[in-house]
Structure 1
Amino acid sequence: MSNLKVFLSHCIVGASLDEIEDEEDAASVRSDGIPPKEGTYKIIGTLQDATKGKPDWVQEVIDLSEKEKMLEHLSECDVVVYDITENEDQIEEASWAVSGLHAELEHFESQKMFILISTVMTWSKSKPVDPDDPEIPFTEEDYRRRKPHNNFRNHISAEKLVIKLGKTNKAKFATYVVAAGLTYGAGENMFHYLFKTAWHGEADALKCYGNGMNVLPTIHIKDLAAVVQNIADSRPKTRYLVAVDDSQNTLEEIIKAVSQNLGNGKVDHITKEDALLSKSLSQPEFDMLLVNLRMDGVYIKENMNIRWIAEQGVVDNIPEVIKEYKKARGLLHYKLHHIKIKDVIDEAIANLEKSAARADADENEDDDGKAQEDQELLDSINESKESNNGRIENQYIIRFYRDKLHSMPCQNQGFILDGYPKTLEQAKELFAADDEEEQEENSKIPVYDKGTMPEVVLSLEAPDDFLKQRVMNLPEQVVAGTHNTEAGLTRRLADFRSLNEEDNTVLNYFDELEIHPQHIDITKETEEKNTNIAEQIIKIMGEPRNYGPTPEELAEAERTETEKRLKKEEEEKEERERKEEAEAKMREEREKEWENRLDEVKRQELELLENQAIPLRNYLMKHVMPTLTQGLIECCKVRPDDAIDYMAEYLFRNNPQVD
């Protein structure tokens, strides 16, 4: 859990031993900003993804592949923390680490501490404390009776090993196990899928698995980190701790809270079997969401100094949890909703008509008068239009806009206001705070609705002549049926100038709020697609950051990646064939060269033999052949019984004397 490590890197060693008296003291301990330079915990750890660089809050990164060196680093640490709640692969490493440290405990000069963060799923199948009253919660005192979920047997084995090794020499080696509830906050670990689905707003309803009445033991990630901090500081005698909040929320309550505050408010129950078919949930996540446990972390509440972030659980703290979620995920400036006045009015009128149509329907019994109110509002708007030449009064437009900006899609993904508000008064009404907040005494900034106030204000500017020339160059099919004619533009420019005098403009309103408008000169744009303007806006707002690629973007990325891979494979194949062809040609040339050299060697050898044979041949022809020839003639005449013996005798008798 990176958030846990970040928290500890900001904690001053021993700070949890002192009572926190005010918010400033709490900030020194719980700050998410730059940690104090002195006295904080120094974080040394491993990286699951070696390609990522070292985080700023980490002092040193250990190479996980070299176990001996890693054990040396662990032996130098005062506190070793292993989390086995999110990655089951960490169980084996945690068991190895605690065993390795235990083997070296005789060499420790001071006490070392090992903290294992496990999960309440090791209690999933435990029998009730009192069979007659199953709502009595489990506490730390019941940990010897705990029975794990079938898929979490390895977790309980690691727990037992850690507790066992901590009993050998408590003065040298202290071990602790923290059974953590389902974690949430700063990214929504366990409930990530629910928040993601609600934020996207594409599903008809959030899915609740089963009847949703199972109780989920939970804890905010920062509260869990505070528990670890307290253990490291105080070294309690109790070695097995339960870390849960006081919520006792059911799965249905949590899903409803997420849907109502981040989605469309709808919840749909599905069977457990259908839930298993979901590709968005892993098996461990599915098991955790269906657990039914009532637990009470008695020790941490009675003996630890924790300034709780969410002691009452996710449901009671859902607004803050959602803020953390959006900040942690960086969900900004991507697929912003383009808000235009005609679309806002049309959508609002359509919704009113749809609601008013239910005024006389039987289903209206549970409507709390909403349909009747909408019918009355629709009647008022129609009366107003009749007396204003078909125009809707500004008060209704403001109301429509405020409802639109407070809608979940705009609150989740953000929005772009295009051409509205047009006047200073409209801006004040549109962004007025709902409740009458008291303005700070020393602040000159007016009160406004922070939930709908834009973060960036852009003013695209150009002289009137440029705008007229641009309208005149528009194609006829684009201009037809719009106000984008020379007469229409002239009228609108006159209206704009009259409503926005030098000291009475919409931009002045944002300036007063210290949201200073950015001015962009569009006359310098030369690209048809306004590339230069877009680049300037990106510099102002930053690169767009989405929750994640959409299915279409994933498909496009996969297609592009496939094309690149196929192209690369084709290029590699062509290169391989070129190399093979070149090698074959070279091999053929070398074979020909070798054959030519071999023929030349044979010729030279033959010539050499012939040259070497000339003296011997001359000798034989002069001294041997005449006698031998005469001997053969005589042998033929005599025809002896033994021709060979005869020839030998003949040659011996007639051997010529050589000078």
Structure 2
Amino acid sequence: MADQTEKRPPNSRRVFINDVEQYATKNIAKFLDSCVVGASLVEFGEADVEEEDDRLQDEQPKIKDATFQVVGTVSSQTEEKFSFISEEYSRLKREELLHHLMKCDVIIYDITQHPNQIDEAQWAVSALHEEIDTFSGHKMFILVSTIMTWATTKPVDKDDPDIPFTDEHYRKRKAHPNFHDHISLEKLVVKLGKTKSSQFSTYVVASGLQYGMGEHMFHLFFKMSWMGEVSKVPIFGDGSNIIPTIHINDLAGVIQNVIDHKPKSQYFVAVDDSKNTMEDIIKAVTLVLGPGKTQNVSKEEIYLIQELTQTDIDSLLVNLRIEALYVKENFNIHWVSEDGMVENIEQITEEYKQTRGLLPLRICILGPPAVGKSTIAERICKHYKLHHVKLKETITETLDNLELCVHTEDVENDEGEAQEFLDTLKENMNENEGRLDDQYLIRIMRDKLRTKPCMNQGFVLDGFPKTYEQAKQLFTGDEEPEDLQSKHEKKIIPEFVFSVDATDDFLKNRVLNLPETVVEGTSYTPEQFLHRLARFRERNVEDQTVLNYFEDLEIHPEHLDITSNDDSEYQLVTEKICKKIGKPKNYGQISEEVEEEERRQAEQQLKEQAAQRAEAERREEEEAQQRDQRWGEWNQHLEEVRRQEHDLLESQSGHFRNYLMRDVMPTLTQGLIECCTIRPDDPIDFLAEYLLKNNPEAQ
């Protein structure tokens, strides 16, 4: 097959990447698309990197030809197109795929995520090797493999098993039992690159477990921590196993260097400098994103996690010390995370949230008492999976947590501080007839908004703050800011503020019509409610209101009116709020919730079908009973008619019988006797004439 290299700028490189929509390949493609060919050949100091990036950006028109043109295969053609992919191919026959490979300078196959790509990668490198003589220029094949092909390698020094492996030991490597196909392909790739390396060079990059840019292998722990649905994040086993890792962009940087440098060595280990254990990694993740607590569980429990494949499980349980010696000494990589996940966990978690769009929604709903703020807030929380923050419930929760902290022997908690704060709150409540001063309310509410669940998913602040001063203390602090926008706590201040209102007459009628059982023990008794409503109106005619505070921060409240108690009214208001806020910025329903919802709908459907069948059976039985009843009545009526007809016939037939017996039967009998005696030729005619002659009436 002739080489199909297209005419293109001389300095550009056409790069093929398999399965380019997957985690690793997508990020490698995106990285290369942003690179300039040959950029890694220039040595930069750390201080010069930013300056050089600016220079390259300024000179972009001059170097636009020195680019990577990335093409690749996708599982199926979708409407979503990647801007960093020049061409996408799907469902190609191998002849068609080879045609596209022949037009590329660099062919990259990643087999770290899906073992089903091993067969295709083996075919691709072999097919290209067979076409060497038809190449019009040099081609490069890069296999991105995994350090799991080192998993069972014997220690370099039996007496000191902590000595790490390096690239130099790659001939001695022994694969994990489930990764024999990987190491076989690695050996084939290295072998095929030795025949005519001037025309066709091949490389193997043994990647550590990849992280960053939204996560893949470690996604389970990030998601579990972010969602906060478990009090302690599990560590499978004792967690002491060392996991070689690399940031996905650093892996892409290694590949960029391989393309630019065309090194003589064919095998590279791509890992960062960390020697982090599973326990180190999980603790770091949960401290930044989650509850901050972990618990060791048996290794076997990892097999119960549906989100993890067998490849993921094997990789997470690996225990391997290995160093990227060649990469460190020969390549020019601008490391994103050279020291590993734990040292850069803040940056990694920020990447995770930004890449996956897991941005918290912070909402505040204000309005007079009994206007329905909580009803609206609950619906918004359900729609967006946010946390409903109400003042009374937060105070109760804080007191309960302090009581638990005081009575629980937990070295992580400062029992003395908790006891002191609890005593202070109780004393203040006793002095104020169950209420708390603003300074304590602010502290409690700020601590609530700073909790990991509220910081991760977001919250709906229901009816608080009530005054300008409370808002300033909660979101800005004690100092009087010259520029509120620069001083407020951006991580807890609401992005959206909604002011829900109604007329006083509507609110009074609504409260007066509440059932007594609902009003009892609440602040909705007529006297308390009227007092609360009057205080709310007084606070909101002043110059400094809560809404004014948000206006000063250029957070413009949305005003909504309630005019009816109908559920449709609140549904309409909720829809307006959701339209203003936009789409959810979280995971949405997790698989368990989806299954539960599907199960609930299925059960509901079965109940409805059962009810429909029962109703049909009831109607059928009722109709059968009615038919039986009508049939019985009809039969009874028919019998009565027959009896009446019989009686009528009986009453009418007596006269005729008497007549026949008296007048007809004697003459007829005598005629029959005469007929038998004479035996005429026509007996009937004879009998007729006889009856006429002897008719009793005629006589």
Residue type at the aligned position of 1:206:
V
Give the secondary-structure state (helix, strand or coil) at the position aligned to 2:496: coil
In structure 2, the residue matched to 1:59 is 86
Q: Which residue is equivalent to 1:351?
A: 401
Query: Matched residues in 1 for 2:55 and 2:534: separation?
Result: 57
Q: Residues 78-97 of structure 1: matches in 2 within 5 Å?
A: 78-97=105-124
Deviation at 1:122, TM superposition (A): 0.6
Name the structure 2 match of 1:588.
Answer: none
Report the secondary structure of 1:446's partner residue. Answer: helix
The CA deviation string for residues 226-261 of structure 1, in whole angstroms up to 9 with x for no partner, is 222222233233221111111100111112222222
* Poorly superposed stretches of 4+, deviation over 6 Å: 27-30, 561-568
The runs of 5 or more residues in structure 1 that have no matched partner are: 31-35, 569-659
Q: Which of the numbers 448, 464, 467 marks the counterpart of 1:420? A: 464
1:325 aligned onto 2:352: yes
The residue number in structure 1 matching 2:159 is 132
C-alpha deviation, 1:316, in angstroms: 1.5
Query: What does residue range 408-447 of structure 1 map to in structure 2 within 5 Å?
Result: 408-432=452-476, 445-447=485-487
In structure 2, relative to structure 1, the CA distance for the partners of 1:125 and 1:557 (3 Å cut) is same
Aligned to 1:7: 31
**Could you report, residue by residue, the CA deviation over 1:601-637 in whole angstroms, capped at 9, with x for unpaired residues?**
xxxxxxxxxxxxxxxxxxxxxxxxxxxxxxxxxxxxx
CA deviation string 1:584-606 (max 9, x = no partner): xxxxxxxxxxxxxxxxxxxxxxx
Task: Determine the structure 1 residue equivalent to 2:592.
Answer: 551
Contact residue 331 and residue 547 of structure 1 kept, 8 A:
no
CA shift for structure 1 position 204: 4.0
Quickly say closer, same or farther: Cα 1:208–1:416, change in 2 above 3 A: same
Query: Residue deviations 1:333-360, cap 9 Å, x none?
Result: 63101000011000001111222235xx
Cα offset for 1:559?
5.8
Aligned to 1:144: 171
2:390 paired residue number? 340
* d(CA) in 2 for partners of 1:212, 1:37: 48
Structure 1, 383-392 or 558-567: larger mean CA deviation: 558-567
Residue 458 of structure 1 corresponds to 498
Q: Give the aligned partner of residue 547 of structure 2.
A: 507
8 A contact 2:73–2:90 mirrored in 1: yes
Change in Cα spacing, 1:136 to 1:106, as seen in structure 2 (3 Å) is same
Provide closer, same or farther for how the CA distance between residues 444 and 560 of structure 1 changes in structure 2, counting only shifts above 3 A: closer
Q: Residues 129 and 395 of structure 1: is their aligned pair in 2 closer, same or farther, counting only changes over 3 Å?
A: same
Match of 2:185 in 1: 158
Residue 574 of structure 1 is matched in structure 2 by none
Structure 1 counterpart SS, 2:141: strand
**Aligned: 1:538 with 2:565:** no
Give the C-alpha shift of residue 215 in structure 1.
0.7
The answer to whether structure 1 residue 99 and structure 2 residue 126 are counterparts is yes
Alignment deviations for residues 563-584 of structure 1 (CA, whole Å, 9 cap, x no partner): 999999xxxxxxxxxxxxxxxx
AA aligned to 1:74 is: L
Q: Which deviates more from structure 2 when the two are superposed, residues 537-546 or residues 183-192?
A: 537-546
Which amino acid letter does the alignment assign opposite residue 349 of structure 2? I
Amino acid at match of 1:398: I
Post-superposition shift, 1:25?
Answer: 4.4
Give matches, 1:509-524, under 5 Å. 509-523=549-563
Quote the Cα distance in structure 1 between the aligned partners of 2:98 and 2:496: 51
For 2:106 and 2:591, the matched residues in 1 are separated by 42
The worse-fitting range, judged by mean Cα deviation, of 459-468 and 94-103 is 459-468
Measure, in 2, the Cα distance between the counterparts of 1:287 and 1:28: 44
| Structure 1 length-normalised TM | 0.77
Map residues 130-209 of structure 1 onto 2, 5 A cutoff: 130-209=157-236
Kindly provide the amino acid, as one letter, of the partner of residue 410 in structure 1. Answer: C
Code of the residue aligned with 2:434 in structure 1: it is G
Partner of 2:271: 244
**Alpha-carbon distance, 1:181 to partner:** 0.4
Shift in Å, 1:61: 1.0
Contact kept? 2:476, 2:484, Cα under 8 Å: no
Q: Distance in 1 between matches of 2:55 and 2:587?
A: 33
Relative distance call for 1:154 and 1:375 in structure 2 (3 A) is same
Question: What is the distance in 2 between the residues matched to 1:62 and 1:180?
Answer: 26
Count of aligned residue pairs for this structure pair: 553
> Could you tell me how far 1:294 is from its partner in structure 2?
1.0
In the alignment, what sits opposite 1:607? Answer: none
User: Are 2:88 and 1:69 aligned?
Assistant: no
Q: By how many angstroms is 1:444 displaced?
A: 7.1
- Matches of 1:242 and 1:71 in 2, distance apart? 28
Task: Provide the residue aligned with 1:254 in structure 2.
Answer: 281
**1:64·1:70 contact (CA, 8 Å) conserved in 2?**
no
Q: Residue 386 of structure 2 aligns to which amino acid in structure 1?
A: L
Aligned residue identity for 1:506: V
Q: CA deviation at 1:129?
A: 1.8
Q: How many angstroms apart in 1 are the aligned matches of 2:589 and 2:54? A: 33
Please list the CA deviations of residues 524-576 of structure 1 after superposition, one character each: whole Å capped at 9, or x if unmatched: 997536222222222222223435435243132256479999999xxxxxxxx
Higher mean C-alpha deviation, range 170-179 or range 265-274: 265-274
Distance 2:56 2:235 in 1: 38
CA distance in 2: counterparts of 1:156 and 1:501, whole angstroms: 76
Q: Tell me: CA distance 1:162–1:265, structure 2 relative to 1, closer, same or farther (3 Å).
A: same
1:117 CA displacement = 0.8
Cα RMSD, aligned residues only: 3.2
AA in 2 matched with 1:5: A
The answer to whether structure 1 residue 309 and structure 2 residue 336 are counterparts is yes
- The answer for the alignment partner of 1:121 in structure 2 is 148
The residue identity in structure 1 corresponding to 2:403 is E
SS state at 2:355 partner = helix
Q: Which runs of 5+ in 2 are unaligned?
A: 1-23, 58-62, 362-383, 610-699
Distance 1:235 1:367, change over 3 A: closer
Map of 1:538-617 to 2, 5 A cutoff? 538-544=578-584, 545-549=586-590, 551-558=592-599, 560=601
* 1:229 equivalent in alignment to 2:270: no
Amino acid in structure 2 at the alignment position of 1:82: Y
* Counterpart amino acid of residue 180 in structure 2: R
Cα drift, residue 469 of structure 1: 4.6
Contact 1:446/1:513, CA 8 A, preserved across alignment: no
**Structure 2 counterpart of 1:348, one-letter code:** T
CA distance in 1, matches of 2:534, 2:260: 70
- Equivalent of 1:373 in 402, 405, 417: 417
Contact 2:237 2:296 (8 Å CA) reproduced: yes
Partner of 2:630: none
Secondary structure in 1 aligned to 2:182? helix
- Secondary structure at the counterpart of residue 486 of structure 2: coil
| 2:247 match | 220
Tell me, yes or no, if the aligned pair for 1:525 and 1:532 is still in contact at 8 Å: no
